[in-house]
Amino acid sequence: MFKTFDGHICTLSQIEPGSLDNKIIKKRYLSETNVEMIINAPLIANSAKPGQFIVICNNEKGERIPLTISETDKEAGTIGIIFQMVGRSTIELGAMKEGDVIMSLAGPLGMPSEIENFGNCVVIGGGVGTAIAYPVARALKNAGNNVKVIIGARTESLFILVDEMKAFADEVILTTDDGSCGIHGVVTDPLKELLEKGNVDRVVCIGPLPMMKAVSEFTKPYGVKTIASLDPIMIDGTGMCGGCRVTVDGKTKFACVDGPEFDAHLVDWDGLKTRKSFYREYEAKQKEMAIKEAK
């Protein structure tokens, strides 16, 4: 156990000989690039709340990967993660199999999502961000909200968790950039219609940065409180390195301990975009190498 910078109690779950901890219990591909893993991590499962994340390290040389917890099962002692194989570390993680053991998991980290009965909520998941939107939407529904979910993907085969969302949401609206399924367009198209009809009390959006920025710009004139889950570069995930800093309402915040959810109307989106692109060239090279090594 350890205490983060802001006083959270976390577990650093490192493998002990003979322990089942950190073992990959189940693995499935949700689409060509998105993988779901169920991992044995009883201490984290016991205390994690929607919106919180873990930091995974595959092996001694591995990068620290922050991933939101997509589900928890306290009885089984397991947590779920869903990730996109976009870079070297996530490609290596995606290559691990059921029964393999992940070197270390630290969590739960970050502030849980604010869950109350707000009234009519619209939860938006863009691409793989839907994995994070899922537990938040379900918790909002359980808190008595009317929950409409908008899921956007580039094409039909990239949708994830549609049936799972349909199982509890009051409405699920799908959009594809190429028109292969649902509305031909992006998530802000149906959002605009819902905002114009009125009766939206809260919007929560999780997905690529340009999507969250666009959602924020759409809801601002309507005065609808909008929450975005940010994914800046993270290193320690406990408030010490400053890597994840973002400017919110003119103040410096650390996404790992103050977030990852923030009021979207107060986020400096352009500053965040610049910081996120710092390592783009290095990341592209590492990805190329990981693909070559995997062949």
Residue 119 Cβ vs ligand FES, minimum distance, rounded to whole Å: 33
Cα(248)–Cα(254) distance, integer angstroms: 10
26: phi then psi, degrees, rounded to nearest 5: -145, 140
| Minimum CB distance to ligand FES smaller for 151 or for 209 | 209
265: phi then psi, degrees, rounded to nearest 5: -70, -15
# of chain residues touching ligand NAD (CB under 6 A): 23
Instruction: Tell me if 186 contacts ligand NAD by CB under 6 A.
Output: yes
Instruction: Give CA 152 to chain center in angstroms.
Output: 15
Residue 14 Cβ vs ligand NAD, minimum distance, rounded to whole Å: 25
Residue 255 Cβ vs ligand FES, minimum distance, rounded to whole Å: 6
CA 109 vs CA 15, 57, 67, 206: distances in Å? 19, 14, 10, 17
Quick one: what does residue 237 bind among ligand NAD, ligand FES, none, with the CB cut-off 5 to 8 Å set by partner type? ligand FES
Nearest to 56 by CA among 16, 94, 103: 103
The residues pairing with 101 across neighbouring beta strands, listed in sequence order, are: 23
Quick one: what does residue 236 bind among ligand FES, ligand NAD, none, with the CB cut-off 5 to 8 Å set by partner type? ligand FES
Q: Which of 66, 135, 207, 259 binds ligand NAD (CB under 6 A)?
A: 207
Positions 226 through 265 that interact with ligand NAD (CB under 6 A): 229-231
Residue 256 Cβ vs ligand FES, minimum distance, rounded to whole Å: 3
Can the peptide bond before residue 108 be classed as cis, meaning omega within 30 degrees of 0?
yes
Contact criterion met (CB below 8 Å) for 144 and 117: yes
203: phi then psi, degrees, rounded to nearest 5: -120, 135
Q: Give the torsion through C-alpha atoms of 143, 137, 260, 271, to 10 deg.
A: -130
| Minimum CB distance to ligand NAD smaller for 47 or for 180 | 180
Q: What are the residues binding ligand FES (CB under 6 A)?
A: 234-237, 239-244, 254, 256
Residues forming contacts to ligand NAD in the complex (CB under 6 A) are 84, 126-129, 132, 152-154, 175, 177, 186-188, 206-208, 210-211, 214, 229-231
